[in-house]
Amino acid sequence: MSLTLTSLQHIPLIRHGDNLADILLNSLRETNMELQDNDILVIAQKIISKAEGRMVSLAGVEPSQRARELGLQTEKDPRLVELMLRESNEVVRFRKGVIVVEHKLGFICANAGIDHSNVAPLPEGLAVMDDWVLLLPENPDASAKKLREEINKKTGKTIGVMIIDSHGRAWRNGTVGICIGLSGIPAVVDERGWKDLFGYTLKATIVGVADELAAAASLVMGQAAEGTPAAHVRGFPYPLEEGSLQDLIRPKEMDMFR
């Protein structure tokens, strides 16, 4: 089995309303990649959010009393905390510098996935980057599906599309890429009933293949100033089929640690 991941080159800074399908197809050409059936495109959340207009100015945010209190406890801007509360179902944990929430999309993450880094370019005529933040896409599965269908119409190729973000983990240091939206690829593969090398029947093995691929793709995409917010994947070792973010999220009643 051979899996190849290639970061896509010459992707410009994305603004609200940009056509990501055209931009990605042009980037594939610039990277000398010809799209084939069963390929996968992995896209950083930031460019999806920017294209969908998810930038918010803190100057227009009025913090609630709860946001002010939590801001004092965590030493965070109460306007930013207010956005975290709006983007979340509940606050799970907090300490100085970080607020862990259950996002409206269902997963647990720090600071509701709201980001200051790599947020520019700003709306026309504005220049104060510190006052602007970027929210996660409202429906990453729908964003991935729309992008996949547009690329299929333009190329005739059947591909998968995945949107990823960088998340921390409860028991290990360091952030890793995880899947927050997908279309045309499985999120998990249930291997229960499969045989191992010695004929033992697997009883509990469900593999989070979308997160595995997200982590691999983030290695070639980078986290800082690389300017490569997308990757092309060939050789994914499972059949392409429809999955969703919800397949990756453990139900709250089965969460033993919250």
Give the tens place of pLDDT for each residue, 207-249.
Answer: 899 999 999 999 999 865 567 899 999 999 999 999 999 999 9
Indicate the Cα dihedral angle 29, 33, 36, 38, nearest 10°.
Answer: -120
Class of the domain covering 55-134: alpha beta
The CATH number of 4-46+162-249 is 3.30.1330.100
Structure tokens at 219: 């290695």
pLDDT band at 115 (very low <50, low <70, confident <90, very high): confident
Domain boundaries, the chain: 4-46+162-249, 55-134
Give the tens place of pLDDT for each residue, 20-68.
Answer: 999 999 999 999 999 999 999 999 999 999 999 999 999 999 999 999 9
Structure tokens at 244: 């969703």
Annotate 31-64 with b (16+ C-beta within 10 A) or e (fewer). bebebeebbbbbbbbbbbbbbbebbbebeebebe
Structure tokens at 90: 């509940």
Give the tens place of pLDDT for each residue, 144-201.
Answer: 999 999 999 999 999 999 999 999 988 899 999 999 999 999 999 876 666 666 676 6
Average pLDDT of the residues in 69-74: 97
Structure tokens at 31: 């990277």
Query: Going by DSSP bridges, is the β-strand pair 132-134/55-57 parallel, antiparallel, or unpaired?
Result: antiparallel
Question: What distance in Å separates the CA atoms of residue 164 and residue 211, rounded to the nearest whole number?
Answer: 9
Query: Going by DSSP bridges, is the β-strand pair 160-167/176-183 parallel, antiparallel, or unpaired?
Result: antiparallel
In this structure, the number of other CB atoms found within 10 A of the CB of residue 15 comes to 15
Domain 4-46+162-249 and domain 55-134 have a common topology: no
pTM of the model: 0.90
Closest CA to 114 of 49, 160, 25, 52: 49
Question: What distance in Å separates the CA atoms of residue 180 and residue 85, rounded to the nearest whole number?
Answer: 19
Question: What distance in Å separates the CA atoms of residue 258 and residue 255, rounded to the nearest whole number?
Answer: 6
